[in-house]
Amino acid sequence: MKNFHSLLRLTIVLCLISLPFIGSDCQDVLNQINNQTGTLTGTWTLIYNAGTTLDICPGEQVEFPNETGGVATLTCPSHPSISRNYTVSGTTLTYTESGIKYDVAFTQNNELVLSGVNNNRILYYSNQITGTKESERNETVNKLSNSSSNSSELK
């Protein structure tokens, strides 16, 4: 019985000593989640549309000229480009005319993820489409080319 209590006491002490180390690892993970690693500026191509609203044209291209706001150019394949004013506050991108809002995040592969705040969309964009991804995207675009909705609108 005395050995059991000694073992229990030793286990408790070791657990207490390890807490600061475990806590620092958790903080590192939280810091990675909260820190944006990409830049919104540039031309992005839609590679995946998730959520419950799947109405964005496949292969939509969006060009954001500035991190904080400006005029974005949205282009669906085989359709004319449109321009939309946008602002960025913190991690929230807002298309000013429609009021559509997205949380902005980036994956480890530097893909842009727009998660709908006031809509049910989750949009994944890449700024590098090459090889197999390009042919798969073109195939999807050809199959679904009748959709002309873009991410700045609700239908």
Rounded to whole angstroms, the Cα distance separating 117 from 11 reads 46
Domain containing 58 — which CATH number?
A: 2.40.128
Domain count, the chain: 2
pLDDT of residue 124: 95
Are both 49 and 103 inside the same structural domain?
Answer: yes
Are both 19 and 48 inside the same structural domain?
Answer: no
Are both 14 and 85 inside the same structural domain?
Answer: no
Are both 31 and 49 inside the same structural domain?
Answer: no
Task: Please report which helix (H) or strand (E) contains residue 45, including its range.
Answer: strand 42-51
Q: Which residues contact 56 (CB under 8 A, 6 or more apart)?
A: 46, 49, 121, 123, 147, 149, 150, 151
Are both 29 and 65 inside the same structural domain?
Answer: no
Predicted TM-score of the model (pTM): 0.64
Q: What is the pLDDT of residues 81-136, one digit of tens each?
A: 999 999 999 999 999 999 999 999 999 888 999 999 999 899 999 997 554 445 55
Are both 10 and 64 inside the same structural domain?
Answer: no
β-bridge partners, 101 = 94
Spatial contact of 35 and 104, defined as CB atoms under 8 Å apart: no
Would residue 96 count as lying in a domain? yes
Are both 127 and 105 inside the same structural domain?
Answer: yes
Q: Which domain holds residue 17?
A: 1-35
Rounded to whole angstroms, the Cα distance separating 71 from 67 reads 11
Would residue 98 count as lying in a domain? yes
Would residue 155 count as lying in a domain? no
